[in-house]
Each structure stands twice: as C-alpha cells, then as structure tokens.
C-alpha cells in the first residue's frame, strides 16, 4: 500500500509550479480556464506535446515492447499512433475554436505534419530499447500524489524501477540541448515526480528525461537524472506546504506574482493582471474562457 501524504489534497506538479510563480495566474488558468485568444507559441507547444504523448503511449505500450514484429505490423502501430495523436489535436483545438480562439490554419497543419513525422521516426528508433521491461504507460498515481501521470514506468537497463517523462520539441537547435536537459533536471515537475514515485512504490526509483526533437536534427534520447535523498525529502515537504496554501487560495485573497516575464517573452497573463486587473468584461477582448475540463 503506497504511503499517504499528510495533507488532505495534493495539487498537481504543473498547478503548484504556476501557483508558485503567480497565484493570480493560477486562478485564471486553472480555476477559471482563461487563455489567450490568439494561438501562440506556448499554445502550439502544448498541443504538439499532448499529441505526441498520446501517440507515443501506443508505441511504448508493454505489449509492443521488445517484440520483434513484421514490418507491416509496425506500420499498423505507427498508423494507430498517428490516429491517436490527430484525435488529441482535434480535442484541443475544437473547444479553443468554439470559445472564440483564433489560430493560423497553416500552423495547425504544420503541427499535424511534424507530430506524424516524429512518431514515425520514434517507432523506428525506440529510446527504450535497452530497458529490461516497460510496465506502464500514461500511468496515473492518483490524487494522493497530485494526479501525477507518468509517460513510462519500467525497469531500466540496471533493472531498477524507473520512470521517464517524454518532452517533445518540434524544433530545438543542437547547441541548446545540454542547457535544455539541465533545465529539466531541476524542473519542479521532475522533482515532484521523483518524490511521488518513491512514495507510491516504496522503493528506489531512477528518473529519466526522454528528449525527442524533430528539428534541427532528429534525436530521441534518454537522460538519467539522479537526486539527493535530502532534496527529495524537502520536495515532499514543499508539496505539502504549497498544497495547503493553494487549498485556501481564494479565501486568503488576491496575490500578484513578483515577475511577469518568461524566457520566451511576457507572460500570457501579464496584461490581464497588470492592466485589466482580471476584470472579466475587459479580458474578453484578448482572452477566451474554456468550459470546465470534461464538459
């Protein structure tokens, strides 16, 4: 039986990360579902990433792992993976458009093309070829651990229980690969995943980034991350602290973040926070509100 955190509700790694950056951004994005009306670079990155995750889950599934299959069967699996990816794209685009979102159809077709091309290459160059076993794909740890959903869980080449989180980049220049890997190594998501996996399975766990990039050069490679036990203990305490604060976020009132810019430019909610004071009537010009997830 997995160990249970002491707090009654644990928030997801992505929600905690956004809340720690700016509580108002967390409320607008996660509670009220406000998004930029114009499909921007982060939007397409999320759409492509989700689509690749859906497709690669089929290719990584345990029944396909380490199985010598005829070429015709491999092509069938690629076709199924691409079909799942395209459905994911539609599922993301449809509610965005119905809510009044604006996108460039050329961008949409480029995303579809790139994801399909990447899945085809990935199927023929599995980065998990030397793992002993894949146990689960798209595996959820449940609400007790922040609804972490692991792309791949299995036994690595050392036969150690491991998880891998897949990050798909349509374009990443080779000169920035090392920098990107180091950013992910210390990203909150990976630290939260490591804590949750160790608690859930109650045994040592290895962490891997599966970096997949299509351009400027094809790459599908695993990078192993090792963490100090004291750090992961601190992460667990932080998860509880943030989750407790977030559970009382509304009743405690408004709290602005201290920075409104990212490495890619201004935060998507900068105008909503600083100029519009999250006034819903004013926000409707440049933002849309999506229906609650699952509806």
Secondary structure (DSSP) of 236-284: HHHHHHHHHHHHTHHHH-----S--EETTEE-TTHHHHHTSTT-HHHHT
148 part of a folded domain: yes
Higher pLDDT pick, 89 / 69: 89
46 part of a folded domain: yes
Q: Is the pLDDT of residue 2 over 70?
A: no
| CATH number of the domain within which 140 lies | 3.90.320
pLDDT band at 219 (very low <50, low <70, confident <90, very high): very high
Higher pLDDT pick, 156 / 257: 156
pLDDT value at residue 263: 79
59 part of a folded domain: yes
pLDDT value at residue 232: 98
The separation between the first and the last C-alpha atoms of the chain, rounded to the nearest angstrom, is 33
Could you give the number of structural domains in the chain? 1
Q: Is the pLDDT of residue 113 over 60?
A: yes
On the 0-12 / 13-18 / 19+ scale of CB atoms within 10 A, 203 is exposed
19 part of a folded domain: yes
pLDDT value at residue 253: 75
Once rounded to an integer, what is the mean pLDDT over residues 89-99?
A: 97
pLDDT band at 249 (very low <50, low <70, confident <90, very high): confident
pLDDT band at 258 (very low <50, low <70, confident <90, very high): confident
pLDDT value at residue 181: 98
- Please state whether the peptide bond connecting residue 119 to the residue before it is cis, i.e. omega within 30 degrees of 0: no
96 part of a folded domain: yes
Question: Which pTM was predicted?
Answer: 0.91
Predicted confidence (pLDDT) per residue in 183-208, tens digit: 999 999 999 999 999 999 999 999 99
- Is the Cβ–Cβ distance between 167 and 184 less than 8 Å? yes
- Is the Cβ–Cβ distance between 258 and 20 less than 8 Å? no
Structure-token pair, residue 50: 């989700």
Q: What integer best gives the mean pLDDT of the chain? A: 92
Q: Is the pLDDT of residue 28 over 90?
A: yes
Once rounded to an integer, what is the mean pLDDT over residues 285-291?
A: 94
Predicted confidence (pLDDT) per residue in 40-79, tens digit: 999 999 999 999 999 999 999 987 654 555 556 889 999 9
Once rounded to an integer, what is the mean pLDDT over residues 115-144?
A: 96
What are the C-alpha distances in Å from 250 to residues 24, 32, 201, 262, 282?
Answer: 10, 12, 34, 25, 21
Backbone φ/ψ region at 106: left (φ over 0), alpha (ψ -120 to 50), beta? alpha
Minimal CA–CA distance to 126: which of 216, 223, 220? Answer: 220
pLDDT value at residue 255: 84
279 part of a folded domain: no
1 part of a folded domain: no
Once rounded to an integer, what is the mean pLDDT over residues 98-115?
A: 98
pLDDT band at 127 (very low <50, low <70, confident <90, very high): very high
User: Strand ranges (DSSP E) for the chain?
Assistant: 34-36, 133-140, 149-155, 161-171, 206-215, 219-225, 261-262, 265-266, 287-289
Range of the domain at 94: 13-249
pLDDT value at residue 63: 76
25 part of a folded domain: yes
What are the C-alpha distances in Å from 103 to residues 37, 110, 265, 266?
Answer: 9, 12, 19, 19
Q: Is the pLDDT of residue 166 over 60?
A: yes
pLDDT value at residue 1: 40
Give strand pairing partners of 167. Answer: 211
pLDDT value at residue 64: 65
Once rounded to an integer, what is the mean pLDDT over residues 217-242?
A: 97
pLDDT above 70 coverage of the chain, percent: 93
């Amino acid at each position: 039986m997995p160990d249970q955190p002491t707090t009654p509700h644990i928030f997801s790694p992505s929600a905690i990360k956004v809340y720690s950056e700016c509580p108002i951004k967390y409320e607008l994005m996660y509670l009220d579902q406000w998004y930029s009306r114009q499909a921007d670079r982060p939007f397409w990155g999320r759409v492509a990433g989700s689509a690749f995750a859906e497709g690669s889950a089929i290719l990584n599934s345990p029944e396909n792992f380490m199985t010598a299959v005829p070429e015709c069967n491999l092509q069938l699996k690629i076709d199924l993976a691409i079909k799942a990816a395209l459905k994911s794209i539609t599922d993301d685009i449809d509610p965005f458009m119905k809510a009044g979102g604006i996108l460039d159809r050329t961008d949409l077709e480029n995303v579809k093309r790139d994801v399909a091309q990447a899945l085809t290459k990935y199927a023929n160059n599995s980065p998990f070829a030397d793992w002993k076993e894949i146990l689960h794909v798209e595996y959820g740890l449940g609400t007790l651990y922040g609804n972490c959903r692991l792309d791949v869980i299995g036994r690595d080449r050392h036969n150690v229980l491991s998880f891998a989180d897949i990050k798909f980049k349509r374009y990443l220049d080779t000169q920035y690969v090392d920098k990107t890997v180091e950013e992910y190594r210390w990203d909150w998501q990976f630290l939260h995943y490591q804590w949750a996996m160790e608690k859930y399975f109650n045994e040592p766990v290895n962490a891997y980034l599966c970096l997949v990039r299509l351009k400027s050069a094809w790459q599908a490679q695993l990078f192993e991350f090792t963490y100090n036990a004291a750090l992961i203990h601190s992460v667990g305490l932080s998860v509880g602290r943030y989750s407790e604060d977030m559970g009382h976020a509304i009743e405690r009132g408004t709290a602005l973040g201290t920075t409104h810019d990212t490495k890619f430019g201004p935060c998507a909610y900068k105008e909503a926070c600083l100029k519009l004071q999250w006034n819903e009537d004013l926000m409707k010009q440049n933002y849309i509100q999506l229906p609650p997830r699952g509806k």
